[in-house]
């Protein structure tokens, strides 16, 4: 985050902030490169390039379901 006191907006996180949040919440290291690869694979992104973590989570669940993971 640019400022220590800045609030996170889960509907519009820059990829670096999303990677940190998802890493902390999931207990597994998530990198910006991993999120960028997911975007290439079809993960939803906001028009400004930020990530809505709710939409991303829904996409990820659909992807995992379709793969049988």
Residue 54 has pLDDT above 90, yes or no: yes
Residue 69 has pLDDT above 60, yes or no: no
Specify if 41 maps to a domain.
yes
Specify if 33 maps to a domain.
yes
Task: State residue 7's pLDDT score.
Answer: 83
Query: What is the value of pTM for the model shown?
Result: 0.82
Residue span of the structural domain in which 49 resides: 15-67
Specify if 9 maps to a domain.
no
Distance linking the first and last C-alpha atoms of the chain: 33
Q: Quick one: CA dihedral 53, 59, 62, 64, positive or negative?
A: negative
Residue 34 has pLDDT above 70, yes or no: yes
Residue 3 has pLDDT above 60, yes or no: no
Give dist(CA 18, CA 27) in Å, integer: 14
Specify if 4 maps to a domain.
no
Q: How many domains does the chain have?
A: 1
Q: What Å distances lie between residue 64 and 13, 23, 49, 57, CA to CA? A: 22, 18, 23, 10
């Amino acid at each position: 985050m640019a400022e220590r006191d800045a609030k996170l907006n889960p509907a519009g996180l820059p990829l670096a902030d999303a990677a940190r949040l998802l890493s902390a919440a999931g207990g597994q290291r998530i990198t910006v490169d991993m999120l960028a690869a997911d975007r290439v694979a079809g993960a939803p992104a906001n028009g400004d390039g930020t990530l809505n973590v709710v939409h991303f989570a829904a996409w990820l669940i659909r992807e995992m379901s379709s793969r049988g993971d």
